[in-house]
Amino acid sequence: MTIPEIRETRLPGGMRVVTDPMDTVETVSVGVWADVGARHEPAEINGVCHMLEHMAFKGTRRRSALDIAVEMEDVGGHMNAYTSREHTAFYAKMLREDLPLAVDILADIVQHSVFDPEELAREQGVVIQEIFQSIDTPDDIVFDHFQATAYGNQPLGRPVLGTVESVGRLSAEVIGGFRHAHYSADRLVIAAAGRVDHDALVDLVRTHFTDLTGRPPPSPQPARYTGGAYQEPRDVEQAHIVLGFDGVSYSDPDYYASVILATLLGGGMSSRLFQEVREKRGLAYTVNAFASSYVDGGLFTLYAGTGPDQVAQLMPVLRGEIDKVRAAVCADEVARARAQLRAGILMGQESTSGRCEQLARQILVYGRPVPNAEVLAELEAVDEAAVTRVAERLFSSPPTLAALGAIKGLESLEPLTGRQ
Amino acid sequence: MTIPEIRETRLPGGMRVVTDPMDTVETVSVGVWADVGARHEPAEINGVCHMLEHMAFKGTRRRSALDIAVEMEDVGGHMNAYTSREHTAFYAKMLREDLPLAVDILADIVQHSVFDPEELAREQGVVIQEIFQSIDTPDDIVFDHFQATAYGNQPLGRPVLGTVESVGRLSAEVIGGFRHAHYSADRLVIAAAGRVDHDALVDLVRTHFTDLTGRPPPSPQPARYTGGAYQEPRDVEQAHIVLGFDGVSYSDPDYYASVILATLLGGGMSSRLFQEVREKRGLAYTVNAFASSYVDGGLFTLYAGTGPDQVAQLMPVLRGEIDKVRAAVCADEVARARAQLRAGILMGQESTSGRCEQLARQILVYGRPVPNAEVLAELEAVDEAAVTRVAERLFSSPPTLAALGAIKGLESLEPLTGRQ
């Protein structure tokens, strides 16, 4: 018996195929991850990546939208897709014997979708409903305003969905041109995890992904964090407060320290923010902190949803917790954060879709699979000094504040947006 | 090598312990499921189950709120809880060696939480924020109004969270009295899935769950579906439409046919509603149908979020799809729905938390573990005639309509709420 191991193959055009086999399951997750996202879009066609993702399911040279859905669901498989600021992904999960069908459909929708103008007009209506749903959900849209405030008028500051105006402006030609320019073989990764044979997948990919060209990827505009404040009063019950700072990129030496900082500050029930804001003061139901990274730069974010009468109390508490964590962290809480992250990594190993996505993202971000042992060693190397040092670094940057909802109690932003 | 199998033990007090061992993982999910939910609450203390769930984490005779969080997260485990209309659950996931700790904490918080009045006052603030968050989220709160309209002023019609008023009214005595009356040994199930030994878990449960008494469970008020219409105009971008009918209980002979009907009508990308409402007409981003069941009765529900200019078009389309599915379904789509449900069951087997919850709910609902083979055979037995028969049955009941948001375009509810 051989122990299954991660394998990677780079095809002549530059496309990478990577597999993480598990012989204890009967299913497989497979997907195409593209190094293309909202930050690669010119302002006037903001939302084109996401629209391209939608249109992939609306018909190809060989298949109607109904065919795509029916062929996958006939065998009990399911397919989905998402767009983020740096990536676009199309993925499926199915029983092991249906992998060839899934690769055929994925290759077809990624390479050969036809962008029929009538289908596009209808899909613009669908995406506009998706935008409206986001606008109507205060604890969703506040993060779009936060992102726009953190990055000003840069590609990283724009919404992934685009706006009603920019989405309405997209033509079949623009979408097709964007695909032609960006979906090159060397920017795509095919990843699979579960009951999969690497060589068999490589053969399927060679057979089906024949219409991509390899070109060097254009570098996106470098991330330049600005900070600032955004306030939007709305006649709703809650006030949503997002307070953020300039963060770290995936390859920053402080990456793992910032993840540990986010975990001990606002990552679980034992975290400082949960204990201080929710358990001791009852000010919020949802309160957390998280670190997000890009290939260059990142954001470090605190969030809480509170009431109109509590919002004035909340702000000094958040500010106080920031000051406290800059001053000192203790060994116990660093060890606890590490234990939580370690268990999360081990638990993530149990899901084919989780392993597939993690592997694909590692190839796109680091250019190689990152062994769990390496991640665990990196976390192990983070001590209290590293955490306070990264806290000092992050919280010295100009803050970004987005406040939306019942925020009348928030009389002045001065104490938060003034110089630290 | 023996094949791991599901085992069940009934302890002398009536408490059931059930395990689903998996020898391919290093973690275990374990939880306490109680046959107690919002439908067991008198109107004046609506929300008491959910508040009891929150207060379980706020301190016991031996542990503070911080202790509970820290002990679990120190070993990288995590713990959570939820309340529904029929059940309350407390559960954890951790590495296999930490199971004794998890059972100790679960037993402590379920039996010995102290309901300190100061902690209660703060937690009322937290739950009120949770209620406000729900009220501010149109596609969340519309379902509470739908439920209230379907069941009128019955326990099943009330919100799980309670209201700001009823939650504010809860005292430590009321919560303690409710626990004493309802958390009897014979209404609790301890379930675990993953790397777990049945006999070892039974020993842990015997050691820690010593302070429960066994009494016959009080029967909740029988479900009596009424139907009706609710409209709430709001100044938002979308109109949310929930259209429902009297459904079937878990033990109804039509249960599996109704699940297949929901799947082919609105369960995936190939479903009738997705194709007609989203793909062909571009009227909605989210559109679906689902069957929900209780121990007696259930609901069959269609949902779509659309725009103010589209809401008038949407209603006749929903009505048309209901008429079409009453008239006929074809063998292909029944087979596809069955394949989707079959694959979902097999994929669900890969997750410890999914298997743990499924098993606990089967014990509470059916009194026994239901083998997957039995579920698959039941689905296999559903043919086209059974689906059209159940469609005729469900859609003959008086409709329930809840419409919230930008619904001015919805001139009259007559065509939908009139006699079918």
pLDDT at B343 exceeding the cut of 50:
yes
| Sign of the C-alpha dihedral computed for residues A261, A264, A268 and A274 taken in this order | negative
Nearest to B137 among A57, A58, A137 (CB): A137
* Residue B221 banded pLDDT, cuts 50, 70, 90: confident
Q: Which residue is it, tokens 């973690």?
A: B27
Range B73-76, long-range pairs (CB < 8 A, 24+ positions): B73/A268, B73/A269, B73/A270, B73/A336, B73/A339, B73/A340, B74/A270, B74/A335, B74/A336, B74/A339, B75/A339, B75/A343, B75/B101, B76/A339, B76/A340, B76/A341, B76/A342, B76/A343, B76/A344
Q: Would strands B16-21 and B7-10 be described as parallel, antiparallel, or unpaired?
A: antiparallel
Rounded to 5°, angle at Cα B277 from B274 and B283: 125
The partner residues of B82 in beta bridges, in order of sequence, read B89
Contact B29, B92 (CB under 8 A): yes
Contact A303, B103 (CB under 8 A): no
Asked if the C-beta of A330 comes within 8 angstroms of chain B's C-beta atoms, the answer is no
Contact A279 B310 (CB under 8 A): no
How many Å apart are CA B337 and CA B346, to the nearest integer? 14
Contact B285 A25 (CB under 8 A): no
The residue from B5, B8, B41, B53 that is catalytic is B53
Give the model confidence (pLDDT) of A209-218 as tens digits. 999 876 776 7
Torsion of CA A343, A348, A351, A355, to 10 degrees: -150
Q: Would strands B78-83 and B88-95 be described as parallel, antiparallel, or unpaired?
A: antiparallel
* Residue A3 banded pLDDT, cuts 50, 70, 90: low
* Residue B215 banded pLDDT, cuts 50, 70, 90: confident
Asked if the C-beta of A162 comes within 8 angstroms of chain B's C-beta atoms, the answer is no
Instruction: Write out the H or E segment, with its range, that includes residue A388.
Output: helix A384-395
* Residue A412 banded pLDDT, cuts 50, 70, 90: low
Q: Which residue of A has its CA nearest to B55?
A: A279
* Residue B220 banded pLDDT, cuts 50, 70, 90: confident
Per-residue pLDDT, A418? 41
Per-residue pLDDT, B409? 84
Q: Which residue of A has its CA nearest to B338?
A: A76
| Sign of the C-alpha dihedral computed for residues B393, B395, B401 and B406 taken in this order | positive
pLDDT at B218 exceeding the cut of 90:
no
pLDDT at B376 exceeding the cut of 60:
yes
* Residue B411 banded pLDDT, cuts 50, 70, 90: low
Residues 6+ apart with CB under 8 A from A296: A222, A223, A249
Helical segments of B309-413, H only: 311-327, 331-348, 352-366, 372-380, 384-395
Phi, psi angles (nearest 5°) of residue B220: -70, 160
Contact A136 B238 (CB under 8 A): yes
Tell me what the mean pLDDT of segment B401-417 comes to.
Answer: 77
Give the model confidence (pLDDT) of A206-245 as tens digits. 999 999 876 776 778 899 999 999 999 999 999 999 999 9
pLDDT at A396 exceeding the cut of 80:
yes
Per-residue pLDDT, B2? 55
How many Å apart are CA B420 and CA B417, to the nearest integer? 8
Give the model confidence (pLDDT) of B127-186 as tens digits. 999 999 999 999 999 999 999 999 999 999 999 999 999 999 999 999 999 999 999 999
Category of B139 on φ-ψ map: left (φ > 0), alpha (ψ -120 to 50) or beta = alpha
The partner residues of A91 in beta bridges, in order of sequence, read A31, A80
Asked if the C-beta of A56 comes within 8 angstroms of chain B's C-beta atoms, the answer is no
* Three-class DSSP category at B31: strand
Beta carbons within 10 angstroms of residue A382's beta carbon: 22
Running DSSP on this structure, what letter comes out for residue B187?
A: G
When the pLDDT of each residue in chain A is averaged and rounded to a whole number, the result is 95
Give the model confidence (pLDDT) of A61-83 as tens digits. 999 999 999 999 999 999 999 99
Question: How far does the CA of residue A154 sit from the closest CA of chain B (Å)?
Answer: 27
Nearest to A133 among B73, B95, B286 (CB): B286
Contact B106, B30 (CB under 8 A): yes
Residues 6+ apart with CB under 8 A from A82: A53, A88, A89
Per-residue pLDDT, B417? 47
Burial, A74: exposed, middle or buried (Cβ in 10 Å; 0-12, 13-18, 19+)?
middle
Q: Which residue of B has its CA nearest to A65?
A: B279
Instruction: Write out the H or E segment, with its range, that includes residue B286.
Output: none
Restricting to A residues 221-260, those with a Cβ less than 8 Å away from any Cβ of B are: 235-238
Tell me what the mean pLDDT of segment B322-331 comes to.
Answer: 97
State which amino acid sits at residue A166. Answer: S
Tell me what the mean pLDDT of segment A267-289 comes to.
Answer: 97
Running DSSP on this structure, what letter comes out for residue A23?
A: T
Best residue in B1, B53, B119, B347 for a mutation probing chain A (most A CBs within 10 Å): B347
pLDDT at B67 exceeding the cut of 80:
yes
pLDDT at A344 exceeding the cut of 80:
yes
Q: Which residue of B has its CA nearest to A280?
A: B122
- Pairs of CB atoms within 8 A across A/B: 205
Tell me what the mean pLDDT of segment A385-398 comes to.
Answer: 98
CA B138 distance to own-chain centroid: 19
Per-residue pLDDT, B412? 57
pLDDT at B92 exceeding the cut of 90:
yes
State which amino acid sits at residue B179. Answer: R
Contact A192, A29 (CB under 8 A): yes
Residues of A in contact with B350 (CB under 8 A): 25, 27, 350-352
Asked if the C-beta of A266 comes within 8 angstroms of chain B's C-beta atoms, the answer is no
Per-residue pLDDT, B351? 92
How many Å apart are CA A356 and CA A361, to the nearest integer? 9
Give the model confidence (pLDDT) of A324-333 as tens digits. 999 999 999 9
Per-residue pLDDT, B420? 37
Asked if the C-beta of B351 comes within 8 angstroms of chain A's C-beta atoms, the answer is yes
Per-residue pLDDT, A409? 84
Which residues of A are tagged catalytic? 53
Residues of A in contact with B270 (CB under 8 A): 66, 69-70, 72-74
Contact A122 B268 (CB under 8 A): no
Restricting to A residues 386-415, those with a Cβ less than 8 Å away from any Cβ of B are: 405
Per-residue pLDDT, B415? 47
How many Å apart are CA B283 and CA B306, to the nearest integer? 6
Question: How far does the CA of residue A136 sit from the closest CA of chain B (Å)?
Answer: 6
* Residue A2 banded pLDDT, cuts 50, 70, 90: low
Asked if the C-beta of B130 comes within 8 angstroms of chain A's C-beta atoms, the answer is yes
Question: How far does the CA of residue B172 sit from the closest CA of chain A (Å)?
Answer: 17
The pTM assigned to this predicted structure is 0.94
Tell me what the mean pLDDT of segment A146-153 comes to.
Answer: 96
Asked if the C-beta of B274 comes within 8 angstroms of chain A's C-beta atoms, the answer is yes
Q: Which residue of A has its CA nearest to B25?
A: A350
Residues of B in contact with A26 (CB under 8 A): 346
CA B307 distance to own-chain centroid: 28
Question: How far does the CA of residue A27 sit from the closest CA of chain B (Å)?
Answer: 7
Phi, psi angles (nearest 5°) of residue B236: -130, 180
Contact A348, A358 (CB under 8 A): yes
Per-residue pLDDT, A185? 95
Give the model confidence (pLDDT) of B258-295 as tens digits. 999 999 999 999 999 999 999 999 999 999 999 999 99
Full DSSP string of B96-137: GGGHHHHHHHHHHHHHHB---HHHHHHHHHHHHHHHHHHHT-
Pick from A186-190, A253-257, B67-71, B345-349: least confident: B345-349
Domains along the sequence of chain B with CATH: 7-208 (3.30.830.10), 228-416 (3.30.830.10)
Asked if the C-beta of B25 comes within 8 angstroms of chain A's C-beta atoms, the answer is yes
Question: How far does the CA of residue B1 sit from the closest CA of chain A (Å)?
Answer: 15
Nearest to A343 among B77, B336, B347 (CB): B77
Contact B133 A27 (CB under 8 A): no
Residues of B in contact with A309 (CB under 8 A): none
Tokens at A272, concatenated: 């400082």
Nearest to A346 among B26, B284, B339 (CB): B26
Question: How far does the CA of residue A397 sit from the closest CA of chain B (Å)?
Answer: 30
Residues 6+ apart with CB under 8 A from A283: A277, A304, A306, A310, A313, A314, A317, B125, B129
Instruction: Write out the H or E segment, with its range, that includes residue B72.
Output: helix B65-74
* Three-class DSSP category at A186: helix
